[in-house]
């Protein structure tokens, strides 16, 4: 059988990783797919890997439209990033009857509902394994491997750059900005690294994961998103003293009232496997009613790990080329006309435990005032840690861990605590997840 011709958009880190993996393992990949897979044309403004492209016989153009309109091309791989031209090119490829493979999490999170609807009408596939957690085959695991489960919750470290920064801060006491610069140099960070450190990239990925886990439409705009820029070395140290690690988590949880969708730093018990996922590695913990908890771990960013996921999608698409569209795995795991209209909970209604750091004047009655406010709002304390006072300022840090509390109650407690004359700085709060059940 003749090889399948593939067009590629984008030859940056992931584009070059894909070219390298596909060329190096071409024979094995053909044995898996049932026929050869060849990138015949690629469009890029900057080509990071010209020698590999030449060795692979890829024609290079600057014009992405030449790729999506090429009559020889059966599958378009979109690795250009962004949501403007990328959306236009993907929709054009679909309109031309081509299948699409993309690593673009922002594109899927923001425009996936539209893209999947067009693909469904046209009878083509859109595969997006590489959009979430780099090389970890998490979409396949949730969409197919866990298809028998009623999924209860999932928690993931799904931004490698953020995890790298938190790990280096904890282990080596390095400064935030310096570690971020290194992540950029290593090609882990997004073009705009605020997407990494403010949680936007993780929110894109969480949007996609929640949809395939719960069978709900993609709803990026409803994800609560908080970054890691306010995490200090002191908080990292206190968390360690209390037996926890601070991780930047994406959490999606089914509750009787709706779905929680949230990205924020969280303390997690140091003994959990997820707490020991360090550096640029990603991991996703998923709890289903039948299987219990399962954990998926691997490289969340980088050229070849992400290329690995892109090529796996290519193989899947090639294998299904002759399948009736009705018999393919649905884009969001559930049949398109069977998605659930579950409400997404506002943050005030979400229940979690909390780490609170208060800077207080070290004098009698201060703790009593604070615990009275918490008690009046039914907030129960799990642990307290008070540091020695600074003799010059007579101030001390008090760290409190609470039991689970409705976020709305905690907001009220914090505003009352901050109004006390003895509390000298805004209260730091970090959510705490036990990840037990
Ligand atoms: N900037 C992303 C990360 C790349 O650091 O995880 C992979 O999506």
- CA dist 249 and 226 (Å) reads 10
Position 283 in a domain: yes
Q: Helices 13-24 and 303-319 sit at what angle, rounded to 10 degrees?
A: 60
Whether residue 107 lies inside any domain: the answer is yes
Ligand 1 centroid, distance to 362 Cα (angstroms): 43
Pocket test for ligand 1, best of 17, 192, 201, 298 (most atoms within 8 A of CB): 201
Residues 155 and 289 placed together within one structural domain of the fold: yes
For the chain, the domain total comes to 3
The answer to the question of residue 387 being in a domain is yes
In a domain, 124, yes or no: yes
Contact between residue 76 and residue 99 where contact means Cβ atoms under 8 Å apart: yes
User: What pLDDT was estimated at residue 92?
Assistant: 98
Q: How confident is the model at residue 393 (pLDDT cuts 50, 70, 90)?
A: confident
Phi, psi dihedrals of residue 209, rounded to the nearest 5°: -60, -45
pTM of this structure = 0.96
Helix axes 105-122, 85-95, angle to 10 degrees: 20
Question: If you measure from the C-alpha of residue 190 to the centroid of ligand 1, how many angstroms do you get, rounded to a whole number?
Answer: 6
Asked if the structure places residue 83 within a domain, the reply is yes
Host domain of residue 152: 141-298
Same domain, 127 and 107: yes
Block residue for tokens 């039991």: 403
Residue 38 sits in a domain whose CATH number is 3.40.50.720
The rounded distance, in Å, linking the Cα atoms of 269 and 115 is 40
Structural contact between residues 133 and 297, judged by C-beta atoms closer than 8 angstroms: no
Judgement on whether residues 280 and 333 belong to the same structural domain of the protein = no
- Read off the tokens for 30: 């053909």
Q: Is pLDDT above 80 for 437?
A: no
Backbone torsion region of residue 306, taken as left when φ is above 0, otherwise alpha when ψ lies between -120 and 50, otherwise beta: alpha
Q: Is residue 437 part of a domain?
A: no
Q: Say if residue 281 is in the same domain as residue 264.
A: yes
Per-residue pLDDT of 251-295, as tens digits, reads: 999 999 999 999 999 999 999 999 999 999 999 999 999 999 999
Q: Is residue 408 part of a domain?
A: yes
Is there a catalytic annotation at residue 5?
A: no
Q: Of all atoms in ligand 1, which is nearest to the CA of residue 282? A: 6
Read off the pLDDT of each residue in 226-237 and give the average, rounded to a whole number.
92
Residues with CB under 6 A from ligand 1: 134, 159-161, 188-190, 196, 201, 300-301
Q: 64 C-alpha to center of ligand 1: Å?
A: 24
Q: For the residues 215-237, what does the mean pLDDT come to?
A: 95
Examine the domain organization and report whether 109 and 53 are in the same domain: yes
- Residue that has been written with the tokens 């882990």 in this structure: 188
**Whether 197 and 269 share a structural domain:** yes
Q: For position 1, what pLDDT does the model report?
A: 87
Nearest atom in ligand 1 to 188's CA = 5
Residue nearest to atom 7 of ligand 1 (CA): 301
> pLDDT tens digits for 323-358?
899 899 999 999 999 999 999 999 999 999 999 999
Please indicate, yes or no, if residue 343 is contained in any of the structural domains. Answer: no
* pLDDT score of 46 more than 80: yes
- What SS3 state is found at 185? helix
The 10s digit of each residue's pLDDT in 53-105 is 999 999 999 999 999 999 999 999 999 999 999 999 999 999 999 999 999 99
Give the CA angle between residues 226, 138, 342 to the nearest 5°. 60
CA 259 to chain centre: 17
- Going from the Cα of 160 to the center of ligand 1, the distance in angstroms, rounded, reads 5
How much distance in Å is there from the Cα of 159 to the middle of ligand 1?
Answer: 5
Report the distance separating Cα 326 and Cα 90, nearest Å.
21
* CATH code for the domain of 188: 3.30.360.10
Question: Are residues 261 and 157 part of one domain?
Answer: yes
- Last residue of some domain: 268, 298, 328? 298
Lowest mean pLDDT of 66-75, 229-238, 399-408, name the range.
Answer: 229-238
Q: In this predicted model, what pLDDT tens digit does every residue of 170-206 receive, in sequence order?
A: 899 888 889 999 999 988 889 899 999 999 999 999 9
Specify the ligand 1 atom closest to the Cα of 103.
Answer: 8
> CATH number, domain at 388?
3.30.70.260
Q: Which of 205, 222, 247, 271 is catalytic?
A: 205
Separation between Cα atoms, residue 180 and residue 63, nearest integer Å: 33
Q: Are residues 147 and 130 in the same domain?
A: no
């Amino acid at each position: 059988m003749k090889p399948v011709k593939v067009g590629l958009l984008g030859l940056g880190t992931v584009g070059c990783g894909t070219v390298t993996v596909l060329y190096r393992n071409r024979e094995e990949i053909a044995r898996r797919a049932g026929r050869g897979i060849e990138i015949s044309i690629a469009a890029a403004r900057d080509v990071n890997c010209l020698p590999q492209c030449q060795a692979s016989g890829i024609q290079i153009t600057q014009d992405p439209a030449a790729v999506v309109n090429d009559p020889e091309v059966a599958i378009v791989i979109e690795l250009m990033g962004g949501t403007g031209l990328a959306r236009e090119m993907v929709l054009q490829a679909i309109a031309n009857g081509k299948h699409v493979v993309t690593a673009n999490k922002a594109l899927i999170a923001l425009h996936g509902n539209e893209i999947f609807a067009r693909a469904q009408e046209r009878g083509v596939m859109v595969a997006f394994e590489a959009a979430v957690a780099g090389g970890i085959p998490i979409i396949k695991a949730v969409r197919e491997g866990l298809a028998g489960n009623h999924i209860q919750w999932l928690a993931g470290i799904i931004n490698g750059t953020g995890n790298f920064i938190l790990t280096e801060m904890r282990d080596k006491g390095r400064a935030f900005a310096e570690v971020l610069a290194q992540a950029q140099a290593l090609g882990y960070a997004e073009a705009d690294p605020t997407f990494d450190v403010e949680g936007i990239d993780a929110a894109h990925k969480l949007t996609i994961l929640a949809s395939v886990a719960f069978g709900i439409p993609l709803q990026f705009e409803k994800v609560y998103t908080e970054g890691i820029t306010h995490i200090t070395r002191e908080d990292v140290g206190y968390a360690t003293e209390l037996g926890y690690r601070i991780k930047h988590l994406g959490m999606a949880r089914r509750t009787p009232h709706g779905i929680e969708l949230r990205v924020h730093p969280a303390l997690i018990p140091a003994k959990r496997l997820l707490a020991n996922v360090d550096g640029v590695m990603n991991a996703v913990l998923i709890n289903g009613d039948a299987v219990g908890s399962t954990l998926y771990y691997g490289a969340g960013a980088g050229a070849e790990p992400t290329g690995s996921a892109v090529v796996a999608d290519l193989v899947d698409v090639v294998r299904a080329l002759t399948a009736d569209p009705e018999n393919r795995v649905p884009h969001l795991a559930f049949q398109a006309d069977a998605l659930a209209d579950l409400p997404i909970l506002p943050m005030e209604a979400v229940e979690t435990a909390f780490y609170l750091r208060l800077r207080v004047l070290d004098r009698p009655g201060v703790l009593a005032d604070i615990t009275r406010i918490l008690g009046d709002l039914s907030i129960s304390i799990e642990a307290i840690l008070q540091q020695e006072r600074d003799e010059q300022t007579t101030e001390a840090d008090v760290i409190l861990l609470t039991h689970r509390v409705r976020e709305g109650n905690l907001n009220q407690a914090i505003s009352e605590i901050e109004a006390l004359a003895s509390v000298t700085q805004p209260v730091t709060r970090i959510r705490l997840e036990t990840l037990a059940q």
